[in-house]
Amino acid sequence: MKAYDLAELAVRNLKESVLRNSLTTVGISVGVASLVAMLSLGIGLQQLATRRLVRSGLFDTVVVTSRRDLRNFNRADDSSGGPAPAESPALDEPARQQIEKLPNVVEAYPDLRFITSFTYEDKPHLTMVAGIPPSYKTNDAFEGLQGSFFSADAAPEVVLQKTFAAELLGKTAKPGTDEAPVAQLAAPLLGKEMTMRYAERVSAPAVPETAPSAKVGLHPLTEGNDSQEAATYSIVSHELKVKIVGVTDLDPDSMRGPVRARVLLPLKLIESLHVVQPTALRDTTQAANKAPTYSTVSVRVKDPAKIQLVEDAVKKMGFNTFSMLDATRSLRRFFAVLDLFLGIFGSLALAVASIGIVNTLVMAILERRREIGIMKAIGASDGDVKKLFFAEAGVMGALGGALGVALGWTIGRVINAGTNIYLKRQELAPEQIWFVPWWLVVGAIGFAILVSFISGLYPAARAARLDPVQALRYE
């Protein structure tokens, strides 16, 4: 029989005992719905967890440090080969550019930071300042930023972390109390100016020209050492007026949001200021290079799966690396197991439904015994009869699957809405804890059809084996 004939006859036969077949189909759809609801929640929770982690850069960032920096991460790696710290290359601008050219690397930017004081409305505030690359504008690290991102790559503008904003306004939350919303903190600060003090590193002999941004010229304090030019520099104190353009609720302890910095400046601006870095002293004593070195370089990788490749390549260059690869690996494993269990529990209902299919089809064989006999007498082969029952099982599976996906989607939505009402009562931000990807839709319907076919195996074989002579005698 042709496929469209099979489908037509199957649908027609199902319509003949519409109540029983509808109930069976509803049974399948409940099974599929429970599967879809369980898995969509599992996937939603996984996305919720990974969204946080991805935003923090745990998944796609490799932190590169110099082997010379003995205080740094991965000290255990010292025994794993590679050049000795004293012979290892310096982590400077050429090295950064080299890293950026590695395959699978999106960008590599130096971690420039210093502790300084800001004067806002005549009151000094001490905090850590860090430079952030322009790519932050487009990635999701600044989701929920109040105000705007820097207007230009080297604009004299700052984005404040919200605890610092609260400090400027004298609204620092007491432990245990709720923090003020970012928007409330941002409103009085956006567009205001504050004055930043910083120390410029000037190569010796120190003839500092007054930086255009330095509004208040301080007398440069020169501490040169003429005898060793390479490691000689001056430190000049400056002040710079910066405009507050944004306030973010970025977690200051997260990894991509430069650690513990509460004031963020454009990276290009910091670079142009030549602010003296903690590595400066090391540069002096180790005298590896005339140029200043970076304490760390953050490398953003195209795809979390490529982290190991990039790490290996960077290590080969003689640097130390650090990533949260293992942490993400175990996180993924956890969710894979969670999804598996949710899937198994969800499938239980489908297994029960499949028994319903077997029951319905066996009943149909008893009722349609004579009809099967007639079909065989006028030329239907065993295969035709078998395919017809298979098709009936398949149609029930497909209908039940489609209905079940819709039902599961609705259940997930309701659970999500309920959770968000609860979160709202707890004064927490709403979260998407439920997600139905397209592969789950297709997979669930496919799985329902597969289960139906498997359930149809026995009834179809039984119908095909019917002896036409006996079937025709049956009234």
Partner 1 sequence: MNARPGPNPQSATAAIRSENVCRHYPMGQSLIRAVDGISIQVSSGEFVALLGTSGSGKSSLLNLIAGLDRPTSGAVIVEGKDLARMSREELAKHRLHTVGMVFQSFNLIPSMTVIENVALPLRFAEVDRSQRDSLARAALDRVGLSLRLDHRPTELSGGEQQRTSLARALINRPKLLLADEPTGNLDSKTGTEIMKLIREFNQSLGMTVVMVTHERALAEQYAQRLIFLADGKLIDEKSNVAAVAESPIPGGRA
Contact residues toward partner 1 (CB under 8 A) are 1-2, 4-5, 9, 12-13, 16, 370-371, 373-384, 467-469, 472
Q: How far is the CB of 425 from partner 1 (least distance, A)?
A: 57
Looking at the Cβ atoms of 365 and 445, the one nearer to partner 1 is 365
Residue 1 or 450 with smaller CB distance to partner 1: 1
Asked whether the CA dihedral 167, 172, 178, 184 is positive or negative, the reply is: negative
Name the pairing type of β-strands 61-66 and 296-301: antiparallel
Provide the minimum distance between the beta carbon of 9 and partner 1 in the complex, in angstroms, as a whole number: 8
Question: Least CB distance from residue 6 to partner 1, whole Å?
Answer: 9
Question: Closest separation between CB of residue 363 and partner 1, Å?
Answer: 16
**Smallest gap, in angstroms, from Cβ of residue 379 to partner 1?**
3
CB of 360 to partner 1, least distance (A): 17
Q: Distance between CA 202 and CA 54 in Å, rounded?
A: 38
Question: Cα-flanking dihedrals φ and ψ of residue 157, to 5°?
Answer: -130, 155
What Cα–Cα distance (Å) separates residue 17 from each residue in 161, 305, 368, 387?
67, 53, 11, 19
Name the residue nearer to partner 1 (CB basis): 187 or 469: 469
CA atoms within 13 Å, Cβ hemisphere of 283: 22
Q: Under a CB-based contact definition with an 8 Å cutoff, are residues 400 and 17 in contact?
A: no
Radius of gyration of the chain (CA): 34
Q: What is the phi/psi pair of residue 17, to 5°?
A: -120, 75
Residue 17 or 72 with smaller CB distance to partner 1: 17
Sign of CA dihedral 126, 131, 137, 142: negative
Cβ closest to partner 1, residue 212 vs residue 379: 379
How many Cα atoms are found within 13 Å in the side-chain-facing hemisphere of 291? 12
Q: Kindly state the smallest distance separating residue 19's Cβ from partner 1, in Å.
A: 15
Q: Which one, of 132, 153, 155, lies nearest residue 244 by Cα?
A: 155
> 270 or 375: whose CB is closer to partner 1?
375
Q: Which is nearer to partner 1, 315 or 387 (CB)?
A: 387
Least distance (Å) between residue 374 CB and partner 1:
5
What phi and psi values does residue 445 have, to the nearest 5 degrees?
-65, -45
| Residue closer to partner 1, measured from CB, 13 or 56 | 13
Is 112 exposed, middle or buried, given 0-12, 13-18 or 19+ CB atoms closer than 10 A?
buried
CA dist., res. 401 & res. 422, Å (int): 31
Q: Are 262 and 164 in contact (CB under 8 A)?
A: yes
Q: Provide the minimum distance between the beta carbon of 455 and partner 1 in the complex, in angstroms, as a whole number.
A: 23
* CB closer to partner 1 out of 443 and 468: 468
Which two structure tokens, joined as six digits, stand for 470?
């006996």
User: What 3-state class would DSSP assign to 307?
Assistant: helix
Tokens in use for 311? 């790490």
Which of 272, 270, 260, 293 lies closest to 68, judged by CA? 293
Q: What is the closest distance, in whole angstroms, from the C-beta atom of residue 456 to partner 1 in the complex?
A: 20
Q: Kindly list the distances between the CA atom of residue 9 and the CA atoms of 26, 142, 358, 393, in Å, as whole numbers in the listed order.
A: 21, 59, 19, 12
Shorter beta-carbon distance to partner 1: residue 93 or 382: 382
DSSP 221: B
